[in-house]
Amino acid sequence: MNRWATTALVASQLLLSNAVFAHGPTPQKIDESVVIEAPIEAVWEKVSDFNAIADWHPSVESSVPTDEQGTRVLAFKDKGTITESLDELDADRHYLGYRLLEEDIEVFPVSFYSVSVELTESDAGTEMLWQGRFYRADTGNFPPEHYSDEAAVEAMTDFAQDGMNALKAELEGQK
Amino acid sequence: MKPLLRIGLSSLLLVAIPVAAERAFLTHQAVDRVSVLDLEQEGKVLAKVDVSKAPVGVAIDSLRNRFYVTHPEMGKISVIDMTTYAVIDEIKTGGQPFGIVVDDSGKRQVFVSDWERNAILVINAESRLVVDILAVGENPAGLALDTKKRRLYVANRNSNTLSVLDADRPRQYAEVPTGKAPYAVSVSPDGNHIFVTSIQDDKLTVIDGQSYEVKATVETGMAPYGVDVTHDNSHVMVANQGSNDVWVFDVSTLKKLTQIPVGEMPESISLSSDGTQGFVTNWFSNDVSVINLETMQESSRWKVDESPRSLGRFLAD
């Protein structure tokens, strides 16, 4: 019953744990959007195929489904892989949500994220919204610069913008 | 004295007078600020308090007219006066203080979960010193305290368990299995049920408040975070971060009664002790949803500062 230690003020023993956890106490957010001059269904056709991201995202070399349904392994050029899993795909709302299942902070400096991509019709065509909640690579209190909140925000922002801009260029070029 | 009269008197004395919540205390982790809303004036901002980096957890200490906010990034806790809204002290804890709860029984203690050191910190509310460090599961997050039964409940995020601790002595009664990645915990006012949300498998674990056995596991919306129970023990409400809604369950049948759309990525939920209103912090859309507990509908949505979180009970009655 009384199996726990009362280490009154002997904090030094507890300070030893400085492991990198998959989730930390401080989430960050991105909220990016791009207007694509293309019909919503044309954009949705690209975005909704969970394993077709490598066809349009310039940073993703390949996307391979795993045995587990709704998961994809993304390979980044000359870097390595991370695995994502699909949470929700709603064709009526033109919405998909997914999360990071297996991180590799050497490949992508974020320890966990959940992302949603949503399309809405606009005057010019389609507004594409890319939102995310995520944690830096090293969730301890003294992260090195390349594992910091800033590095995570930059990586998430760039990934969203690069993807949406490439999609925009491709779909608008086809007009 | 006749027994009848005595019963009448004592029951009168024991009746707590329900009061409407007056203020909400919001932590804005991204902008190092706390805001105080007047709930009787449609969320009018009474104060914006600049605090140390990245505040998350909040707890009201009505006995001492203060509230506390945790700063996991800084290893400290801000102590803020409830009248002047001045930061009157910072308690240095080390580690990553996260969830926090005040012992309202009058005993001079505040409990804090330390995410990084897998521990509960016990702080003397008068001396503002850490007086004990108690080992629990991995990455403890949400806390709930039953001041009458003298139990502290701790959701251990990475151990997938709930620790049941004695609130007065260093003793653990149970470590109960929960769903995957338990985050928030709430105990019904009568102490009979403990509810734990688990983010990664979209579940609410219902634990018996006497035996500490799992009574049921209930499906929730996507990524459930905050949870609270109505003052009359009849309903439990869960804020789902992934599906942007609050699900309402009947406590006796554990059936889902309704779902209430709220803002984006809701995080914490606190219900007023008079049973009229619930409040939800919407982390992504930077607003607070007000829920009418009679109709179980969102009655208004107030714009607030960036990224409100407020892990813990964030209402002052």
- From the list A4, A11, A18, the residue facing B94 with the nearest CB is A11
Q: Do B117 and A10 touch (CB under 8 A)?
A: no
Distance CA B283, CA B180 (A): 22
Find all residues with CB under 8 Å of B14, minimum gap 6, and list them. Answer: none
Which region among A16-30, B171-185, B199-213, B217-231 has the lowest average model confidence (pLDDT)?
A16-30
Q: Which of residues 115-174 of A touch B (CB under 8 A)?
A: 131, 133, 140-141
Out of 3.40.50.720, 3.30.530.20, 1.10.630.10, 2.30.40.10, the CATH code matching A25-173 is 3.30.530.20
Chain-centre distance for alpha carbon B291: 17
Distance CA B202, CA A145 (A): 34
pLDDT of residue B3: 42
What is the per-residue pLDDT across A59-79, written as a single tens digit (0 to 9) for each? 999 999 998 889 999 999 889
Q: Do B73 and A141 touch (CB under 8 A)?
A: yes
Q: Which of residues 38-77 of B touch A (CB under 8 A)?
A: 54, 56, 72-75
| C-beta atoms surrounding A9 within 10 Å | 10
**Which residue of B lies nearest to A10 if distances are taken between CA atoms?**
B133
- From the list A23, A97, A131, the residue facing B284 with the nearest CB is A131
pLDDT of residue B317: 78
What is the per-residue pLDDT across B27-69, written as a single tens digit (0 to 9) for each? 999 999 999 999 999 999 999 999 999 999 999 999 999 999 9
Domain borders along chain A are 25-173
Testing the interface with B: which of A2, A3, A6 to mutate, by most B Cβ within 10 A? A6
Testing the interface with B: which of A20, A29, A30, A101 to mutate, by most B Cβ within 10 A? A29
| C-beta atoms surrounding B125 within 10 Å | 19
How is residue A29 written in tokens? 């957010």
Q: Do A9 and B133 touch (CB under 8 A)?
A: yes
Q: Do B116 and A17 touch (CB under 8 A)?
A: yes
**Which residue of A lies nearest to B95 if distances are taken between CA atoms?**
A15
pLDDT of residue B114: 97
Q: Averaged over A145-160, what is the pLDDT?
A: 97
Q: Do B133 and A14 touch (CB under 8 A)?
A: yes
ipTM of the complex: 0.83
Q: Does residue A156 have a pLDDT over 60?
A: yes
For residue B116, what is the enclosing H or E element?
none
Q: Do A8 and B98 touch (CB under 8 A)?
A: no
Phi-psi region of B243 (alpha: psi -120 to 50; beta: other; left: phi over 0): alpha
Q: Supply the angle between the helices A40-48 and A149-173 in degrees, to the nearest 10.
A: 130
